[in-house]
Structure 1
Amino acid sequence: MKSYLMAGAALIALGSAPAFAQDAGTAGTQTPAADAQAAVPTDTAEAAPGDIVVTAQKRSERLQDVPVAVSVISGDALAAKGAVNLEGAQYLVPTLNFRKSGTAINQSLFLRGVGTSTFSIAGEPSISTVVDGVVYSRAGEAFSDLIDVDRIEVLRGPQGTLFGKNTSAGVINIVTKRPGKDFGGYLEGAYYFDNGNEYRVRGAIDLPFAEHIAARVTGFYGNYDGNIKNLAYDGKRVNGYDHWGVRGMIVADPTPDLTLTLIADYRKSDDNCCAEIIGTTPANLTASVLPDIRGNESRTVNQNLITHTDEKSWGASLQADWTLGTQTVTYIGSYREYDNTEIRDGDWLPQPYVQANELHDFGPQTSDTLTQELRITSPANQFFSYVLGAYYSRAYTERSFTRNDVACTLTPTPTVLTPCSTTGTTITRPTGTAVFGSTFKNFALFGQSTLNFTDRFRGIAGIRYTTDQLDVFHSRVTTLAGPGIQPSFGPFRGKTTNDNWSGKAGLQFDIVKQSTAYATYSRGYKGPAFNIFYNLTATGTNVIDPETADSYEAGLKNTLFGGKLVVNLAGYYAKYHNFQANNPDIVAGVLVTRFTNAGEISTRGAELDLLYQPIRDLSFNGGLAYTDAHIDQFKVPTNGVTTGVVPSGTQLPYAPKWKGLLSADYRIRTGGAVDFQLGAQGSYQSKQISQLDASAAIRQATTIRAYGLVDLSAGIVDADDRYRVTFQVKNLLDQSFASAITSGGPGGSYRYIIPREADRYFGVVGRVNF
């Protein structure tokens, strides 16, 4: 099977679908100028590869002029993939990977092999997600539905100068579609089947109220049964979702020099995800009630509590772009609220048994974020061009987390699996509730400039000053301690502050008009943290120092055949100091494993992005990445005990060494009433570690094997793009794989999370444009 996958990968492993797709029926996707330059094409759905425009440096620029490794995914490419959120985007960007977790709040993104996985409410991600200029401060909110997206810009490597803290591994910059100048819109419905039924409805409408004011309103609903069956609920499907939401944008030009953009959104998500399958045989008596123990081929659980996450979020932002002479002043202010309730089965069994207790979690969380940004942007076509700005954010989160156990004993100890309900058992019900929270305050001043020494030779310099303040609190009241429940603790309050200077320097040279080379040095920064979680004790209350990164990158951007072919290459090396991760440490003389400064890591590699549109109706998008991300030196506890220390040279989790992607889209114009559309997408990635652990045996057991996916589509399109119907086949080769494997199941077994993409399924999508 491995050789078969490798052979298939040789055909498909050229890359991502990072840039353009074709959908002339899509409503307008204009982007307001971030500077005073002449207008350039901004619609990634229609632009040729060499004309794609991004805002990766807080101004509108051609992708080929930006001295940064950027992958661009159009909204149409996401739709063709059937992606609901950023989890689906990982199949379109070679260096982007996604860690799926038992509940949505604990999921993580990885770029170039670097990311942060933590249960702490006072730890932040290494990859920042920005939507229409607004930073989403919590990783969970970033994984919401991708609706009405114009493009996603994936900025690889540290981006601390322009985007600030918690971008030590990169930035996901999401730009949504703007109102069109004319009345119009679309309505789309989709039905997916053969791996649980899924229904999606979404639509948008453009409303031009007057000559200088227009609105766009978008709504969506989606429901999916799930791909796993739970025997404890008569075979009910789980790992599904029920989502709905609305979004509105108003763009007004009250004067020729002023543009105002007001955006508001609301969404509600109920996910019964993610059921953790016990994929290996436990070493205790629970094997008899654990069904379908077949590793990543398993599709059944037997759990008396359905693990699920209930979320709602809403927010509003105002952006003002004001032209003052040759300068553009931009203000972006936002307020967001994000509520998440985590309900989790932590014993993975249908009931409590003697020597196999029940563990159920209930953890509602509320949060709100306020951000303010002000910047001034000069024209790009002058000797000294620049972006200067100031940024402030305050993010507050509070969580109330209750853990309930059911534990029992029976004398003599039974030799068969015995329920706690059996006559003669002694039952206890340990329980505890912790209330904890965090407040992040961040203020920064930043600037980046380009010195145009000649028409072909440029210098880049940037700097950012950041000051952080983090306040935390924690208090746990335990009625009865038990498995997974520490005694009462607190109240505890902690505070830390930190100042940081990060920056960027580089050179850019146009070798010829169609080929640009660049080399840059960047300093990345991730703010201080605390390990604030349910079972906090006095040994874990210390401050976690900031994480920093020194990154070196060189690239070559080539635009050939009159802009029809883009071939971009990048090579990089990054060293991370005070890497924030789970690691053994000594606090107050006690050896603990917790979220802390684990030590030094590094990542290096090479990347290829390929975009080719030989004719109007045929396009190819591809990419290939080689990533070597590993431990350089984890910290040894102060008592010298190395038990639990991850060996140097160990590959980082979710960092496959090879990952490749390729897609092709072809529209056959018949000259009649309808045309035909054909599409194919393929992806491949080599094996990757799911759990970073000191034990070689555990690392081996939690390694996700290499796999490849192939998707096909065929559709009928009205010649004037008024409607289309598309049939899709997902995972054509029916390749089964796990998105996460972790230890800690019953009797030393391993827990698997199986994504929907691990099985073949089919879909029909219909769309009407008006």
Structure 2
Amino acid sequence: MKKQILMAGAALAVLAALPASAQGAASQEGGTATGAATAPEEATEPNAGDIVVTAQKRSERLQDVPVAISVVSGDALAARGSVNLEGAQYLVPTLNFRKSGTAINQSLFLRGVGTSTFSIAGEPSISTVVDGVVYSRAGEAFSDLIDIDRIEVLRGPQGTLFGKNTSAGVINIVTKRPGKDLGGFVEGGYYFGNGNEYRVRGALDLPVTSDVALRVTGFYGNYDGNIRNQAYGNRRVNGYEHYGARAMLVANLASNFTATIIADYRESKDDCCAEVIGTTPTGTPGTVSAAGAFAATVLPPAQGDRTRLINQDLITRTNEKSWGVSGQFDWELGNQTVTYIGSYREYDNEEIRDGDWLSQAYSNGTFVNASGQTVTGAGLNQLHDFGPQVSNTITQELRLTSPADQFFSYVLGAFYSRAETTRTFTRNDIVCNAAPVGTPCSTVPALTTRPTGTAVFGSVFKNFALFGQGTLNFTDRFRGIVGIRYTTDQLDVFHRRDTTLAGPGIQPSFGPFTGKTTNDNWSGKAGVQYDLLPQSTGYATYARGYKGPAFNIFYNLTATGTNVIEPETADSYEIGLKNTLFGGKLVVNIAGYYAKYNNFQANNPDEVAGVLVTRFTNAGRISTRGVELDMLFQPARDMTFSGGLAYTDARVDQFRVPTNGVVTGVVPSGTPLGYAPKWKGSLGADYRVRTGGPVDVALGAQGSYQSSQLSQLDASAAVRAATTIKAYGLVDLSAGLVDSEDRYRVTFQVKNLFDQSFAAAITSGGPGGSYRYIIPRDADRYYGVTARVNF
């Protein structure tokens, strides 16, 4: 019954407002970046069929691009109260987000495919590109989205134009460009209900000369958190403090030459994400151990995804700092455009993690449970991790773009990147052997040991590629698509671990170890596109995706884990139909696809030194198939309906035996992949009531629903069942007052109207055989008020 209520609530969302895809875009010739020239409230509302994207590295109407693309405007994210890509998953049905204990280990999934790894020498399956600059580390892409014009979600392999590590897709983020007139905005927000949150952001357009314009943006945010920690007097955790700034300078240095310079800086201090213990510890499944029985007495009550309490003596947190500069130069030579994009970025991350999830360490021995039984087993040891990491990336891209209106239109280019990362990771344990179990180790210092180990490891990725993609305009209605990319990769790694005593999760000293691998790859694309009617375009494509080689370089590396992880490849087939109806007011796009992945790079659950870890391997063969629908309807200037629906069947075809040779680690064929719900959909609308007076009324709602999904891909059916995230639906409502000339806006929001609780991740390996849950902020109802002034 509850499920039906949530679905009905989502359906009612069409009565109010949140444009999930509508956005304005001012374009430039020759494939350069596009973006809104003014604040959203000042822009003329475009028809749904006029959305412009740069998914093929040139400015084109969304409806003319033979690729399945979802477009989310920055306004839609802001209206939903989202500050990062995590919020976009509720607007794009085929996009899912895996939340982790620290930001650096989070990952994205498209069509059920993504990469989750702790390895410093593994890369994601989904590439994130911001204003033409590739972000080499997934963690950096999950930071605050500043001054966003739109997010283009390209689904399926995109190896031809975007290169390696796009075997599942691309997130192409385009920011807003400077306006021609002096102006800007200031916005403040206050959210409350499950912790207080404050946000401030603003932007200023400064026309330096008639040919030079500057846009400067700044932001600050602070959130208490949605979980309480008993060990710190019920202090709230899972919050954040973020701040940063960004500047874009656009200079038309000549009639045929434009330079765009971008610089940004941000800092993040997150005490996120503490893992709550959502199940009662019992020890090994089917048995009762002393550790499990005692852990149940010192942990907060387990309430599944309703658990909101922890009792941990170390606050899990992440401190990040990143900055970067980039330059894009567009030079029109005759009817051709030459584009150069160069960038340098630094991304530093410090991970601090409580790996025992307890308030202190307790001894080994025996324990008398509530039934009077005497049980024996291992103690509850302390495990604390500290892992600072530094990285830098250089990218360079050179492109030649032809006009679109000729028989053979093309984009040709070369790309180079170098990404270097070094990490120093320390694990500190406390272990004692007093009896009975439950004796705090601090009270028996003579029997207490403190194993510790520090590892220093790193990686250097080098990538060079040549690429080209063209369209053969055989007739006004029939086109052929062909593309090819040559890629060469080199990966160098090193590792050394020095250990004082062995202990839980600490292997003996290892190294120094160095490794190197290289690989060449040819990927490409071929297809046809036919305009069935002036307003309907069909296409069919084949694409080859590629993800480069890797190593499993992590803290507890041993000699058995130094093998090269072979490149991942994908063969994808897609058919689609794009429809623009009612004079561009209605867009209905549908796509069907089938993709097969070989040498799929994935994490296998494994136990190292008594602690559950994940081992990065070539897991084997997987496949995904499904159907997707995107809809955007603007029946009137002040009314927008938007939504999407996806059916995804992503599964294991054949799993390899893990490198440790344990056949019990083989996931059965046919097992669904993690973060791949069968059904997922979203539905939203916005409506502005023009009163004829000085103030208008804006009403809004957004609904989303997804079926159950697997969180931990595991060989054990019992573990898979315990780590399955149940189906859930969310409904958000909003109402606001808007100045008739769009000079100001005040909006009130209700988030998660029906207070639907859910987990973002469920993992085995908690104290005494328990399961760990990560509870996102959106799993509770809360409220918000935002005010914006445009000038």
Q: How far off its partner does 1:594 sit?
A: 1.9
List aligned pairs for 1:224-303, cutoff 5 A.
Answer: 224-283=223-282, 284=292, 285-303=294-312
Corresponding residue for residue 310 of structure 1? 319
What is the SS of the residue equivalent to 1:47? coil
Task: Kindly provide the amino acid, as one letter, of the partner of residue 330 in structure 1.
Answer: T
1:719 aligned onto 2:721:
no
Which of 19, 24, 36 is residue 21 of structure 2 equivalent to?
19
Residue number in structure 2 paired with 1:107: 106
CA distance in structure 1 between the aligned counterparts of 2:431 and 2:715, rounded to whole angstroms? 31
Q: Deviations over 1:519-564 (max 9, x none)?
A: 0000000000000000000000010000000000000000000000
Q: CA deviation at 1:32?
A: 3.0
State how far apart, in whole Å, the 2-side matches of 1:534 and 1:409 are.
26
Distance 1:279 1:239, change over 3 A: same
Indicate conservation of the 8 Å contact 2:240/2:272, yes or no: yes
Letter in 1 for 2:26: Q
Residue 126, structure 1, aligned to residue 125, structure 2: yes
- Pick from 350, 358, 379: which aligns with 1:349? 358
SS of the residue corresponding to residue 395 of structure 1 reads: strand
Q: Bigger CA drift: 420-429 or 463-472?
A: 420-429
- In structure 2, the CA distance between the partners of 1:541 and 1:673, relative to structure 1 (3 Å rule), is same
Residues 66 and 389 (structure 1), Cα distance of their counterparts in 2 relative to 1, 3 Å cut: same
Greater shift in the superposed pair: 511-520 or 41-50: 41-50
- Is the contact between residue 425 and residue 456 of structure 2 (CA under 8 Å) also seen in structure 1? yes
Query: Which deviations, in whole Å up to 9, do the C-alpha atoms of 1:554-588 show, x marking residues without a partner?
Result: 0000000000000000000000000001238999x
The answer to whether the Cα contact below 8 Å between 1:36 and 1:327 also exists between their aligned partners in 2 is: no
Selected match of 1:511 from 503, 513, 532? 532
In angstroms, what is the RMSD of aligned CA positions?
A: 2.2
Q: Does the CA-based 8 Å contact 1:244-1:267 persist in structure 2?
A: yes
Q: Secondary structure at the match of 1:389?
A: strand
Shift in Å, 1:8: 2.5
Aligned match of 1:34 in 19, 25, 30?
30
- Would the aligned equivalents of 2:35 and 2:174 in 1 still touch at CA under 8 Å? no
Q: Does 1:330 align with 2:339?
A: yes
Pick aligned residue for 2:767 from 736, 746, 755: 746
Q: Please give the alpha-carbon distance, in whole angstroms, between the structure 2 residues aligned to 1:611 and 1:471.
A: 46
CA contact (8 A) 1:463 1:501 kept: yes
CA distance in structure 2 between the partners assigned to 1:739 and 1:517 by the alignment: 37
Q: CA-to-partner distance for each residue in 1:16-64, whole Å, 9 max, x for gaps?
A: 9541169xxxxxx634333499999998983211000000000000000
- Tell me the equivalent position of 2:516: 495
- Correspondence 1:389 to 2:385: no
Distance 2:26 2:168 in 1: 29
1:647 paired to 2:646: no
Match of 1:378 in 2: 402
- The CA deviation at 1:289 is 1.3
Match of 1:535 in 2: 556
User: For the residues of structure 2 that align with 1:269 and 1:328, how far apart are their CA atoms?
Assistant: 38
Q: Shift of residue 638 of structure 1?
A: 8.1
- Does the residue aligned with 1:482 lie in a helix, a strand or coil? coil
Q: Which residue of 1 aligns with 2:385?
A: 361
What is residue 662 of structure 1 aligned with on the other side? 683
- How far apart are the structure 2 equivalents of 1:637 and 1:752? 26
Q: Tell me the distance in 1 between the aligned counterparts of 2:477 and 2:71.
A: 25
AA matched with 2:513: F
Contact 1:18 1:71 in 2 (8 A): no
**CA separation in 2, counterparts of 1:532 and 1:505?**
36
- Contact 1:12/1:684 (8 A) holds in 2: no
Distance in 2 separating the partners of 1:107 and 1:423: 39
Distance 1:584 1:685 in 2: 26
Q: What is the letter of the counterpart of residue 226 of structure 1? A: G
SS of aligned partner of 1:601: strand
Q: Against the structure 1 CA distance between its residues 637 and 84, is the aligned structure 2 distance closer, same or farther, given a 3 Å change threshold? A: closer
Counterpart code for 2:222: N
C-alpha separation between the residues in 2 aligned to 1:636 and 1:713? Answer: 51
- Once the two structures are superposed, residues 713-739 of structure 1 have per-residue CA deviations (whole angstroms, 9 ceiling, x without a partner) of 000000000001000000000000000
- TM-score with structure 1 length normalisation? 0.96
Deviations 1:503-527 (A, max 9, x none): 0000000001000000000000000
**Cα deviation 1:361-413 (Å, max 9, x = unaligned):** 00000000000000000000000000000000000000000000000011xx3
Match of 2:212 in 1: 213
| Residue type of the alignment partner of 2:124 | P
C-alpha separation in 2, matches of 1:79 and 1:542: 45
Structure 1 SS opposite 2:615: strand
Q: Mark the CA change 1:326 to 1:166 in structure 2 (over 3 Å): closer, same or farther.
A: same
Shift of 1:288: 1.2
Q: Spell out, residue by residue over 1:143-196, the C-alpha distance to the aligned partner (whole angstroms, 9 max, x if none).
A: 010110000000000000000000000000000000000000000000000110
- Corresponding letter in the other structure for 1:544: I
CA distance in 1, matches of 2:396, 2:239: 36
CA contact (8 A) 2:18 2:701 kept: no
- 3-state DSSP class of the match of 2:663? coil
Per-residue deviation, residues 395-452 of structure 1 (Å, max 9, x unmatched): 0000000000000011xx315x221123476100000000000000000000000000
Q: After TM superposition, give the deviation of residue 765 of structure 1 in Å.
A: 0.3
Q: How many residue pairs get matched?
A: 758
Partner in structure 2 of residue 53 of structure 1: 52
For 1:36 and 1:765, how far apart are their aligned partners in 2? Answer: 33
Deviation at 1:292, TM superposition (A): 2.9
Per the alignment, residue 25 of structure 1 pairs with none
Q: 1:63 to 1:400 in 2, by over 3 A?
A: same
State the alpha-carbon separation in 2 of the partners of residues 53 and 424 from structure 1.
67
For the Cα contact (< 8 Å) 2:748–2:784, is it kept in 1?
yes
Counterpart residue number, 1:88: 87
Q: Which amino acid aligns with 1:148?
A: D
Name the CA shift for 1:692/1:2 in 2 (closer, same or farther; >3 Å). farther
- In structure 1, how many angstroms separate the alpha carbons of the residues matched to 2:703 and 2:734? 12
- Which residue matches 1:26? none
Larger CA deviation: 463-472 vs 640-649: 640-649
Give 3-state SS (helix, strand or coil) of 2:198's partner. strand
Residue 451, structure 1, aligned to residue 472, structure 2:
yes
Give 2:737's aligned amino acid. Answer: I
Structure 2 unpaired stretches of 5+ = 283-291, 364-378
Name the structure 2 match of 1:482. 503
SS in 2 for 1:313: strand
In the alignment, the residues of structure 2 paired with residue 450 and residue 198 of structure 1 have an alpha-carbon distance, to the nearest angstrom, of: 49
Give 2:447's aligned amino acid. T
Contact 1:16 1:660 in 2 (8 A): no
Whole-angstrom CA distance in 2 between matches of 1:231 and 1:37: 49
Contact conserved, 1:409 with 1:425, CA < 8 A, in 2? no
**Helix, strand or coil: the match of 1:150?**
strand
Q: 2:424 is aligned with what amino acid?
A: S
Aligned to 2:598: 577
Mapped pair 1:701 → 2:722 = yes
User: How far apart, in 1, do the equivalents of 2:658 and 2:382 lie?
Assistant: 33
Task: Quote the Cα distance in structure 2 between the aligned partners of 1:202 and 1:431.
Answer: 43
Secondary structure of the 1:653 match is coil
Query: Shift of residue 10 of structure 1?
Result: 7.0
Per the alignment, in what secondary structure is the counterpart of residue 700 of structure 1? Answer: helix
CA distance in 2, matches of 1:736, 1:467: 46
Q: Which runs of 5+ in 1 are unaligned?
A: 23-28
Under a length normalisation based on structure 2, what TM-score does the superposition of the two structures give? Answer: 0.93
SS in structure 2 of the partner of residue 273 of structure 1: coil
C-alpha distance in 1 between matches for 2:787 and 2:33 = 39
Quick check: 1:165 aligned with 2:164? yes
**For 1:10 and 1:191, how far apart are their aligned partners in 2?**
25
